[in-house]
Amino acid sequence: MAWLFLILAATCETAWTFCLKFMKFSDLKTLTFTNFYKWQGGGLPALLPFVGYVLFGLANIYFFSTAIKQIPTAMAFAVWTAITLIFLKIAETAVFHQRISMVEVFFMLLIMVGIMGLKIYATPAK
């Protein structure tokens, strides 16, 4: 179950990162009650990335903290970081139509091999 929490944490971290990418602080500064529902010049579209940023950030913290109670912290952090990186690259390729090179695929495979090596050869907790 801890590994599922780690994958959920990585998914939330990926969503958190994209919320940060789309957030515009200048729009948040000009947000008022009167222009909240306007679709141009602020309003709800300016607030959604900020709300996602907070919610995905909190969910990420919850799932990651739950996972590290059952998995060694160093291993959990390495796996979480690697899965997040791979999810980010998949999202950039699928959603934003960015190209991926064979070199990038090769290095992502190296990361996955490193994770499997950590999982297989890690010393069990006492």
Q: What is the pLDDT of residue 35?
A: 52
Structure-block tokens of residue 97:
């139509």
Q: How many domains in the chain?
A: 1
Do the domain assignments include residue 47? yes
CA 70 to chain centroid, in Å, comes to 21
Do the domain assignments include residue 126? no
CA dist 10 to 7, 24, 66, 81, Å? Answer: 5, 23, 13, 7
Q: What is the pLDDT of residue 32?
A: 57
Q: What is the pLDDT of residue 27?
A: 66
Q: What is the pLDDT of residue 23?
A: 80
In the chain, beta strands by DSSP E = none
CA dist 25 to 12, 36, 46, 92, Å? Answer: 21, 15, 9, 23
The pTM for the full model equals: 0.77
Q: What is the pLDDT of residue 64?
A: 97
Residues of the chain with pLDDT under 50: none
- Which residues form the domain of 47? 2-121
Q: What is the pLDDT of residue 55?
A: 97
Do the domain assignments include residue 74? yes
Q: What is the pLDDT of residue 49?
A: 85
Q: What is the pLDDT of residue 29?
A: 63
